[in-house]
Structure 1
Amino acid sequence: MSGNELAVSRPLYRVNKFAVPDEAREKFLELVAKTFAVIRRQDGYVRDWVLEQNSGPGIFNFVIMIEFASDEVAPRIAAALGELDRELGLDREALMAELNIRTDFGSYKRLEPLSA
């Protein structure tokens, strides 16, 4: 197999956006802390950013970005978070609805540099 035929594993970026009402902020951040306690222990976790909006007109006031070594990591992370949710008796979707938190989730791959 030539060098051109080798599959190159590229990082996977998970981007989660949240519109969190002020009255839900504390509960939301508690859940984020519990979630990251699990994610940061997983093989393939690289780093994360938890950002809180401080200006601008956007509706999402929290953006969480997580970098994983590759997309092969995603199923293991999902399984670990599923186990956490079972331990806590947590339904994340129901909790977001209860707290009136709007969400937008997606996984991304970095584009190679664009040439002009």
Structure 2
Amino acid sequence: MAQLPAHKRLYRLDKFIVPVGALEEFLAKVKSTHQLLRNQAGFIQDFLLERPLSDEAIQIATLVEWQDQQSIDNARHAVMAAHKSSDFNAQAFTDRLGIKVEMGSYQPIAM
């Protein structure tokens, strides 16, 4: 299957402000989720990035490049199904760990 040109691809950028004490547990969940994402149709590549904010918190960003919106939608359903089968509640998880979340999908700007 031919891939779309880079300017047609979509990106999922999620940012998290994570208390240092919650970092290990949070990263374990992120890594397992990204293992699932890497096996989805339309996945191109992903990045896990960090930026220290203070002695108490670190910002984690995840960036996933997808072939198209349908790929993002299908991956979202796969993640939701995995969460449901393991009785995982993402909102309760982030609330319990004191994590602030900002999520969104982006598309490239033609230059």
Q: Give TM-score scaled by structure 1 length.
A: 0.83
TM-aligned CA distance change 1:94 to 1:55, over 3 Å: closer
Match of 1:11 in 2: 9
**Are 1:62 and 2:60 matched, yes or no?**
yes
The superposition leaves residues 25-78 of structure 1 with CA deviations (integer Å, 9 ceiling, x where unpaired) of 01101101110111000010000110011479xx76111100001111111101
Q: Residue 107 of structure 1: SS of its match in structure 2?
A: strand
Query: Does the alignment pair 1:100 with 2:101?
Result: no
Q: Which of 107, 110, 114 is 2:108 aligned to?
A: 110
1: distance between equivalents of 2:98 and 2:52?
20
Q: Note if contact 2:11-2:107 (Cα within 8 Å) is conserved in structure 1.
A: yes
Corresponding residue for residue 5 of structure 1? none
User: Contact conserved, 1:15 with 1:65, CA < 8 A, in 2?
Assistant: yes
- In structure 2, the partner of 1:38 is 36
Q: Deviations along 1:54-106, whole A, 9 cap, x unmatched? A: 479xx761111000011111111011001110122101011101100001011
Query: What amino acid maps onto 1:87 in structure 2?
Result: S
Aligned counterparts of 1:50 and 1:108: Cα–Cα separation in 2: 17
The number of equivalent residue pairs is 104
Q: Is the 8 A contact 1:47 1:66 kept in 2?
A: yes
Kindly report structure 1 stretches of 4+ aligned residues shifted beyond 4 Å.
none
Residues 1:60 and 1:25: Cα distance change in structure 2 (over 3 Å): closer
Q: List alignment gaps of at least 5 residues for structure 1.
A: 1-7
Unpaired runs of at least 5, structure 2: none
Give me the identity figure in percent: 26
Equivalent residue, structure 2, for 1:21: 19
Paired AA for residue 85 in structure 1? H
